[in-house]
Structure 1
Amino acid sequence: MTADLKLGLNLGYWPASPPPGQLELVTTADDCGYDSLWTAEAWGSDAVSPLAWYGAHTRRLRLATGLIQLSARTPACVAMTAATLDHLSGGRVVLGLGVSGPQVVEGWYGQPFPQPLARTREYVEIIRMALARQRPVTNDGPHYPLPYPGGTGLGKPLKLIVHPLRDRIPIYLGAEGPRNVALAAEIADGWVPIFYHAERGPKAYADALAAAPPGFEIACPVTVNITDDVAAGLQVVKWTLAFYIGGMGAKSVNFHLNLMGRLGYADDAAEVQRLFLAGDRAAAAAAVPDDLADGISLVGPLARVRERLALWRDSPVTTLLVGGVRDPAHLRALADLL
């Protein structure tokens, strides 16, 4: 159970252009007690640039990447970026990292996808070593060897020129599979699930999180739609689920599809994927079970949202990352409920 459930504002990544009104949402969240601001990346807007912009307009919000894709930047580059933004923001940075999937890693970044757990472990170790600045950074691992073993032979171990404001910036890992979640519990300060069911999630992830240390954070994205029409509100969540189950991954390798199976929706998810890949996206969204959409979101009038917040308070989740909100008044209303 979470004694003090925190709120974060989750802006995600942009669609075709920057959504209007986001700066007002950010400043509202900053004013009414939200703990953190999260931005993401896929193959469009990046996760870091918006945080620099919004950080200049806020005073309190922690600035979190949710998530930086490992294959987009070397770990040394991420350490430099984190140290820079942490100084500019007065120590407000949180690094959310994730491996993404093979379609993006190999199709967009032109990098190999295999061995994601081993790559993640090396990546985190290098970032932590660079920020600690206790010695020049070296790494003997196969994924990010430092210095580079080929080339001119002139490479040498280096230390960050800038002295980090904090020698240990919090690192959260985005993960879906049990082994990936267990890795987050082992080496990171927190975990960012992409979909966490308020009622089924605790059991589904209990084994993977069994070794999490005290103070381990779980920052969970939750679509919030304050509306009197619950069915219409859930339909928005269903469209998102249908897209991830059906389109965010290959037919044979889709981590989101596999996750739905672990939550107890294997047959439903297979049908959603079949319909989506057949081109019938409306039918795919309609095939998403109401209980699944309702379990990962907060939808309905304020009285219903207040009632369902109790499920999240009874879960291991420590921060709700509020997404989907367009009205600043709704952000304030949710803060009032907590």
Structure 2
Amino acid sequence: MRYGVNLPLPGVPLSDHAPVLRELPGLGYTDLWTGEAAGHDGFTPLALAAAWAPGMRLGTAVVPAFTRGPALLAMTAATLAEAARGDVVVGIGSSGPPFVDRINGISSAEPYRRVRDTARFLRAAFDGRTVRGRFDSFTIDGFRLPRPPAPRPKVMIGALRPGMLRLAARESDGAITNFLAVQDVPVVADALGPERPDRELVARLYVCPTRDRAYARRLGRRMLVGVLNARTYAAFHAWLGRADVLDASWRAWAEGDPERAAAAVPDELVDDLLIHGDPEECRAHIARFVAAGIDTPFLHLLPAPETGTGPQGALTALRALAPAR
């Protein structure tokens, strides 16, 4: 089983990650993953990890297909793959207006086509082919990586609903998803279609290893209210059958009352989407995701009162959650 960690770790400067990352392989962790929105970029933490924890698989989950040109994205990923001593996964996604249009000044129009075309371009470039021609969302006037990476990086697609999940199965090596419950996994896996047996399903799982249920639920609501009211995730959970459960939160958010919107998220949903409890309970919850069909879980660690903060707090939590225990 693959078992990963999300970077950067909470409350830990990148420069202080080295002692934590060096210990992870011995604890049974196999993967290190990043995301990219308005904070850290998706590649720098992985480049540092390539030096500090050689041999671990490194992946982006995900970087937007809009904010780097196709050639720059291929060059960045190939450079990371050359530096790494393990496998590399380039996870791309559509992102959305908050991160593409509003803070980067780039149009996020035609997200499906852009993600599809970028996946096709990257796979061809990583194979060492010269890529030339008109795609639906961009035109390439001849590009070839002078040193195609070996082993070839995998390309995966961030996907939430049937259209993008089917695209991930047809045009990439797998799908990356998040903010879902155990009972949602079979629905997501089935949407991959007939290619599912040959495609990897990766999930970011949010974990707070605390016995303080009230603390975990407060933290979870603060994190989840904006996510569940974002257009893409609202549509995701409506597809999963939660429109009635989330209707009150959606209405409060639309009326400009985020506190009421947070309060309207039921405890049961917080408990489904945020893994919490003592480490044994957390590991059992993660195991249920794997049993339901997640091939690669990776843990987005959230601060817990029992473990403290900083590098030592993160390491304490990751030791307690380690699969080898």
TM-score category (smaller protein): 0.7 to 0.9
Matched residue, 2:139: 145
**Mapped partners of 1:130, 1:280: distance in 2:** 47
Given residue 116 of structure 1, which amino acid in structure 2 is its aligned partner?
A: P
| Cα deviation 1:108-162 (Å, max 9, x = unaligned) | 233332322222111111111112113x221221312111xxxxxxxxx242222
In the alignment, structure 1 residue 191 sits paired with structure 2 residue 175? yes
Q: What residue number does 1:300 align with?
A: 277
Greater alpha carbon shift after TM alignment, 298-307 vs 51-60: 298-307
The residue number in structure 2 matching 1:153 is: none
State the match for 2:3 in structure 1. Answer: 7
Secondary structure class of the residue paired with 2:21: helix
The farther-off stretch of 113-122 and 304-313 is 304-313
The structure whose residues are more often helix, as a share, is 2
Q: Specify the code of the residue in structure 2 equivalent to 1:322.
A: L
Match among 230, 235, 238 for residue 213 of structure 2: 230
Output the CA distance in 1 between the equivalents of 2:280 and 2:86.
37
User: What is the correspondence of 1:234-273 to structure 2 with a 5 Å cutoff?
Assistant: 234-246=217-229, 249=230, 254-273=231-250
| Partner Cα separation in structure 2 for residue 63 and residue 143 of structure 1 | 28
The one-letter amino acid of 2:177's match is P
1:220 aligns with 2:203: yes
Paired residue total = 315
Residue in structure 1 matched with residue 264 of structure 2 by the alignment: 287
- Contiguous gaps of at least 5 residues in structure 2: 304-313
Deviation, 1:22, is 4.0
Aligned equivalents of 2:201 and 2:285: distance in 1?
18
The amino acid that maps onto 2:147 is V
C-alpha distance in 2 between matches for 1:82 and 1:19: 20
Aligned-residue sequence identity (percent) comes to 30
Backbone CA RMSD of aligned residues = 2.5
- The TM-score, its normalising length taken from structure 2, stands at 0.87
Paired residue secondary structure (1:186): helix
Give 2:178's aligned amino acid: I
Q: Is the 8 A contact 1:37 1:61 kept in 2?
A: yes
What displacement does 1:207 show? 4.1
Deviation (angstroms), 1:175: 1.3
Q: What secondary structure does 2:132 align onto? A: coil
Partner deviation per Cα, 1:230-285 (whole Å, 9 max, x = no partner): 23213322221102123xx4xxxx01111121222213323223334545433322
TM-score (norm 1): 0.84
Distance between the aligned counterparts of 1:282 and 1:308, measured in 2?
28
Where does structure 1 lack aligned partners over 5 or more consecutive residues?
148-156
**Offset, 1:100:** 0.3
